[in-house]
Copies of this chain bind each other. A is one copy, B any other.
Amino acid sequence: MRYTVLGTGLMGAAVARALVQAGYEVSAWNRTPGRAAPLAKEGIVLCATVDQALRAGDAVILLLLDRAAAEDALRGHEGLLAGKDVINLMTGLPEEAVELAEATASAGARYLDGAIECYPSDIATEAALINCSGDAQVWSDHNKAIKAVAGRSAFVGTEPGAANVLDAALAGTFHSVALGALCEAFSFLRASGIDPSRPEIALDYWLDFLKEEALGMAKKLEGDEFTTVEATLSVYLAAIRQWRHTMLGVGQRASLMTAHMHNLEIAEAAGCGELGFLSQVTSTSIQRS
């Protein structure tokens, strides 16, 4: 299998390098040829034109700056995509993946979408993750190469947008908000004269505890198990009000805590007060009437 990588920024270069190391033939094109030059020494065939690059590969990996850059690069070369596989590793909106899947099909090519969930420096490791979605046959034909790029990669659904939905949900709504919450906590501790990096602050305790609870919640969710024999949602809400009061009292803005309180208040108003904390998942959609 011969791969063409379009775009050799930090991530594109790391992906091209991982594929060569895994024994694949790799050609690459970059808008600014000078920045790609060092890759030639690593066995990657640098192409002067998109045309040349597309002809050199059976599958085309898109890792340009964004969708507009990808459209610019491919414009006028659609004929060369026929019979090939397009693997789009740029993360974007789910609807963009759907549109690109349709455009690819029109050009006679198959489409796989992927969202890279790690840093360029993690590429080519066992722990790195690319979530893929779209054509299951393309996944099946290329998953060996994709796993050489990121060992934990997985196929998450046949909807082309599924990888981007997962990215928005887990990289965005969960991971990024959790780190934002940590920043609010850090700020609050600094204002209280407590250095959160001190070992007795036991930050690792909270991260291990979070993992345990999060995996338990996923299991409960699977069974639509919203009742509880432990603290009810209303009991959590009371605790959250007290914690927020403490933060406001020392001049913290407590923005995430306030939004969190608001979510639980809406869940309580929706009748979840005597259910468990997890039951709030049933009341976070906007009702359209």
Which A residues fall within an 8 A CB radius of B? 92-95, 117-119, 127, 129, 131, 152, 154-157, 159, 162, 164-197, 200-211, 213-215, 217-219, 221-222, 230, 236, 239-240, 242-247, 249, 251-260, 262-264, 266, 277-278, 280-282, 284-286, 288
Which B residues touch A181, using CB under 8 A? 173-174, 177-178, 181
Q: A80 to nearest B CB, angstroms?
A: 30
The answer on a CB contact under 8 Å between B188 and A253 is no
Which B residues touch A202, using CB under 8 A? 129, 131, 152, 154, 170
Counted per complex, copies of this chain come to: 2
**Given A180-B263, A236-B176, A259-B256 in contact, is the A168-B246 Cβ separation under 8 Å?**
yes
* A262 vs B254: C-alpha distance when bound (angstroms): 11
The listed residue (B95, B207, B236) touching A211 by CB distance below 8 A is B207
Which B residues touch A286, using CB under 8 A? 251-253
**Given A154-B202, A222-B197, A256-B173 in contact, is the A187-B284 Cβ separation under 8 Å?**
yes
The answer on a CB contact under 8 Å between B95 and A249 is yes
**Given A129-B202, A215-B203 in contact, is the A176-B249 Cβ separation under 8 Å?**
no
